Structure 1
Amino acid sequence: MPSNVICLRGETPLVTASDWNNGISDYIDSIPDWEGGQITVPNNGSIGAAFYQPRPFSASRDVTILDPLKPISPAAALFICTVIRKEANRYNYARKWTIGRMRETILKLPSSGGKPDFMKMEKLVLALPLGWSLAQPHATSIAQL
C-alpha cells in the first residue's frame, strides 16, 4: 500500500512486513484482498517472518502471499511457516527474498510419493504441547476478550 494513502480504521487485518502480531500492523476499512487460508512472507523488513492467515485480510506490497493449490489445515500451514522461517537467515535487507528467489528455494518437507505429505505435517504439529488447541474450534478470538 503506498505510504501516501490514508486508511480508515476498520475490521480487515492489514498484513505488512512485521514479525509481530501475525504480521498484522493495523485493521483497515476495506474489503479484504484475500479470503484467508494463505501464508504470508515479508520480502522486505522482517524477511522470512512467515505467518498463516486464518481469516480474510489485505497485505502491503512488501509481503508475498503463498496461496495453496488446495486448502490445507492450519496445523500443516504452521509447519510450513516454521520451515520457511528457517530459510530466512539466508536473506537480509541487501539480499531480499524476492519472489524470484522464493521460487528457487527448495523447502524440505515431509513427502509421500514425491508430493508434500500435509497429513504428516498436521500430525507432527498436533502432537506438540498445546498442538491440540489448533484442532479445537474457537468461539472467541483474543481480540474479542
Structure 2
Amino acid sequence: MHNTMNGVRIKTWQGGSGSVQGVMFSNIQVSEVQQPIVIDQFYCDKSTCKNQSSAVALSGITYERIRGTYTVKPVHFACSDNMPCVDVTLTAIELKPLQERYHIYDPFCWQTFGLLSTPTVPPIACLQIGKPAKNRIQSDHDYC
C-alpha cells in the first residue's frame, strides 16, 4: 500500500464507548505524510469540543513494517487517562523526516502501553512498556 496523504490512523470520538481490539497494520509504505502512525482518543471534528472522560477502549493494536517519510511527527499516540491504550506493539518501524533541516517533532505518547519488539527508526522511547498500574490485580478477589 502506498499512502501519500494520511498515515495509519485510529481515531475515536471523545466521550465514545465500546472497544477496538486486535487491529494490525502491516507492510505499509508512506510518503511525505504529516504523521504516519496515529492513535487519537480525543478526536473532535469541531473547532471546540468539551473534554470528556469516557473513551473507546483500544487494545491489541499492532504496527509492523511501516516505512517511509514524514513531514511533522513520526508517531502520535494520544490515549485517555481513564482508558489508556494497551498492548500496542511496534515492529520494524522505519520512518524518516522528509528533510532533515526542518524542525521535526519527536514521537509523542500519552497513556500508551505496549511493546517495542524491534528497535525503531526513530527510537520511540515514549511508549510505556507493560501495562498500566490500574490493570493489575488489586486483591485476592480478582483471581479466578
Q: Same fold (TM over 0.5)?
A: no
Place the TM-score, normalised by the shorter chain, in its bin.
under 0.3
Normalization by structure 2: what TM-score? 0.24
Greater percentage in helix: 1
Normalization by structure 1: what TM-score? 0.24
Higher RCO (CA-CA < 8 Å; seq separation 6+) = 2
